[in-house]
Chains A and B, each alone.
Chain A
Amino acid sequence: MKAQVKPRRKPRTMAGGMATAIRSAVAAALALSLAGTAALAEPFSCDIPGYLLVGGNDLKHVAEVVKNDHKLTIAVVGTGSSALAGPDGPPSAYPARLQAALKQKLPSVAVKVVTLVRTRLSADDLAKGMDKLLVDEKPDLVIWQSGTVDAMRRVEPDDFRAALEEGVETLQKAGVDVILMNMQYSPRTETMIALGPYADTMRVVAQQREVPLFDRLAIMRYWSDVGAFDLYAAGRDNVLAHRVHDCIGRGIASMIIDAAHLHGLSNKVSQ
């Protein structure tokens, strides 16, 4: 069983039981020190370098609605990786963390995040639900997480692309802003799930439809590379999952504030 708290740097450079023992010891020490200094906050840095967040595509509707009406309704549409299991799952998953981060950064805005997360649905299934979503939730911004299910089923990339375009078009026609979000970086399943073509397709659709892409794949890979998280961990590590989702939620919040140019309204809180 892997320890729940990882040292921040170079978590995976030693082999065998020795490394596990050392890591557990370091982890235990860190856990103790964290417990003692919880008030200091931000023990884990999961900053996202600018080049991974800046897309060049604006969220015009969000900018308007926030400035004029001081409200923002966000719908997260996605599959399993947009949720966490267990009783403490929903408040820890990234949609709830996004809402918390936005409320903190935009105290003058009524932020509401609703989720439509269903496991095992392909992009095509989700695209077909967009009309109903518009009626039911009247969102200003839809964050559409996609790609994982399609990659696992090896849906034809052309069909995947068509589904994405259909969904984005439906939303854009209704005047709603869109952020596309791609898959998680999952090092252990990399040889089994070929994400490449689907990630490429999402990038292309985002470029052509001029919507921001939250490149979760590249961002999580970056976190893994710099040692912010040990994404190779095999055990039942809820703490890791919660931390990653928290960081994703804050990352999306930063992206929204950038892309809708809301810096003027935002509280100066780090990240």
Chain B
Amino acid sequence: MKSPDTPAPVVTSGRDVTSGRDATSGREATSGRDLRLDLFRGLALWLIFLDHIPSNLVAWVTIRNYGFSDATEIFVFVSGYTAAFVYGKEMRERGFVVAGARILRRAWQIYVAHVFLFAIYLAEISYVAVSFENPLYAEEMNILDFLKQPDVTIIQALLLKFKPSNMDVLPLYIVLLLLFPPILWLLQVRATLALGASVLLYVLTWEFNWNLPSYPSGHWYFNPFAWQLLFVFGAWCALGGAQRLSGVLRSRVTLAIAVAYLAFAFVISLSWYLPGMSQYIPSAVEEVIYPIDKVNLDVLRFAHFLALAVVTLQFVPRDARFLQTRWAWPLVVCGQHSLEIFCLGVFLSFAAHFAMVEISGSIWLQFLVSALGILVMVAAAGLITWYKRLEGRSPGSRPRKMPDADLAGGGA
């Protein structure tokens, strides 16, 4: 964990704390920050950026093409984990009110970030509205209808009901964080009960189709009542759940099941891209698995994430050397400033698409903008780390015991 009084590079501080953990016994929650979390959240940020650039060949490397779950699952889980890790400590040390207030402040920061992204979206769509008049796409231009009544749309956007595409994740986070203080409290008092309540809410959501309304129609693309399961599960793992599960997680049988499930998901996902493959998938199987519902976090997606996590835990142990090296640093540092880097990533994916439309859609440019985007994300994350260090040293900075909010669950 990085705190203002250890202005050393993040990687180093992570190692120090990690090695300190072994001395303290018992719950992981009370000990050092697991760099794997930052690594995989950083990875999720990169993948989300690549996936958000339309028609990007580079996005073929992202995990959504090889199974049911995608970067969103990693992101929500890790964010739940880190939120519980940071704010849980806060709640134990300084009480419910202080921790709750900080969680709500984080939700506010994310709201502001969302409005900022919406402004960028408005700029982009207004530009397209003026410049684009290809008669082939007269129908698609109806997407600009909302510009005709900004009085309604902008207010709906501020109410988080009108959400342009690719801008659904932050609103999900805001809701998850708003609900988080009581859940975090319950997780600390009765962890199993809290997890049970989360599962119950998930089941009831599926049963009764609960969701929040959207404008102009429909519901939230990431249903908070369903996706909370992954967030709370992440939090539960952070507060000792992972420890309790470790026997199951390390067993050969679990690994075998996970690998088999990943293979199954891989075969199914092949049938989406290889025409002709789908006739080899028995229709009985199709009947059962489809539709794989992203809105309500389909059980198949959740299971796919779990399987990925099980396999990952086997191959990337907590003290893996790799995590400390400079090769892991670009991912780790992005994962440590998730909110800023997520917003930057959404902006960069707009910009990359803009470059592809205005300059060239050639494959070289796709590689170039993908690589440049990731480079900018890493550079920005490095810069933010540098700023934080400056602030940590400067007089009148925050008290030492405050954990760094950026390491907490926000982020997108």
Known A79-B139, A81-B139; judge A188-B275 contact (CB<8 A).
no
CB of B317 within 8 A of chain A? Answer: no
Residues 115-132 of chain B: 1 if any A CB is under 8 Å from the residue's CB, otherwise 0?
Answer: 000000000110010011
A-chain residues with CB within 8 Å of residue B131 when the two chains form the complex: 234
CB distance from B289 to the nearest CB of A (A): 10
| CB neighbors of B among A120-149 (8 A) | 120, 148-149
Asked whether, in the complex, the Cβ of B295 is within 8 Å of the Cβ of A193, the reply is: no
- Interface residues in chain A, defined as those with a beta carbon under 8 Å from any beta carbon in chain B: 10, 12-15, 51-52, 54, 56, 79-81, 84-86, 119-120, 148-149, 152-159, 161, 184, 186-194, 197, 200-201, 203-204, 207-208, 221, 224, 231-238, 240-241, 244-245
Q: Which of B54, B221, B290 has the most CB of A within 10 A?
A: B54
Contact A85 B214 (CB under 8 A): no
Residues of A within 8 A of B55 (CB): 187, 190, 221
Residues 206-237 of chain B, each 1 if its beta carbon lies under 8 Å from chain A, else 0: 00000000101111010000000000000000
B361 touches A224 (CB 8 A): yes
The answer, yes or no, to whether B136 is at the interface (CB within 8 Å) is: yes
* Chain A proximity mask over B142-180: 1 for CB below 8 Å, otherwise 0: 110000000000000000000111100000000000000
Does B16 count as interface, using CB distance less than 8 angstroms? no
Given A148-B140, A187-B361, A208-B290, also A85-B134 (CB < 8 A): no
Residues from chain A with a CB closer than 8 A to the CB of B291 are: 157-158, 161, 201, 204
| B124 contact from A191, A193, A203, A241, Cβ within 8 A | A191
**Cross-chain contact B357 with A153 (CB below 8 angstroms):** no
Instruction: Report A245 CB to chain B, min CB distance, Å.
Output: 8
**One of A189, A197, A200, A203 near B140 (C-beta < 8 A):** A189
**Given A155-B218, A204-B291, A193 contacting B140 (CB threshold 8 A):** yes
A231 to B360, CA, bound (A): 12
Cα-based distance from A12 to B362 in the complex (angstroms): 7
Q: How many residues of B contact A (CB 8 A)?
A: 51
The answer to whether B140 and A184 touch across the interface, beta carbons within 8 angstroms, is: yes
Please tell me if the beta carbons of B216 and A153 are within 8 angstroms of each other in the complex: yes
B138 at the interface (CB under 8 A from A): yes
- Those 7 A-B pairs whose CB atoms lie nearest each other, nearest first: A80-B139, A190-B54, A194-B165, A241-B136, A156-B218, A81-B139, A51-B275
The one of A154, A186, A221, A240 in contact with B218, judged by C-beta atoms closer than 8 angstroms, is: A154
Q: Does B319 contact A (CB under 8 A)?
A: no
Report the minimal beta-carbon distance from B244 to chain A, rounded to whole angstroms: 36
Our pick among A51, A155, A240 for the contact of B276 (Cβ within 8 Å) is A51
**Residues in A whose Cβ lies below 8 Å from that of B350:** 191
B278: chain A residues within 8 A (beta carbon)? 207
Chain B residues with Cβ below 8 Å from A233 are 134
Task: State the B residues within 8 Å of A (CB).
Answer: 52, 54-55, 124-125, 128, 131-143, 163-166, 214, 216-219, 221, 272, 275-276, 278-279, 283, 286-287, 290-291, 293-295, 349-350, 353, 356-357, 359-362
Q: Which residues of A contact B52 (CB under 8 A)?
A: 191
Residue of B nearest to A201 (CB): B291
Q: What residues of A have a CB within 8 angstroms of the CB of B356 in the complex?
A: 187
Counting chain A CB atoms within 10 Å of each CB, the highest count among B219, B221, B291, B295 belongs to B291
Minimum C-beta distance from A62 to chain B (A): 21
Task: Enumerate chain B residues within 8 angstroms of A221, measured Cβ to Cβ.
Answer: 55
**Chain B residues near A245 (CB, 8 Å)?**
136
A4–chain B nearest beta-carbon distance, Å: 12
Determine the distance from Cα of A190 to Cα of B354 in the docked complex, in whole angstroms: 10
Partner of A15, one of B163, B279, B293, B359: B359
Q: Given the complex, which residues of A lie within 8 Å of B295, measured CB to CB?
A: 156-158
Pair A186/B133 contact, Cβ less than 8 Å? no
Q: Which residues of A contact B139 (CB under 8 A)?
A: 79-81, 119, 148-149, 184
| List of B residues within 8 angstroms of A191 by Cβ | 52, 54, 124, 165-166, 349-350, 353
A188 near B128: Cβ-Cβ < 8 Å: yes
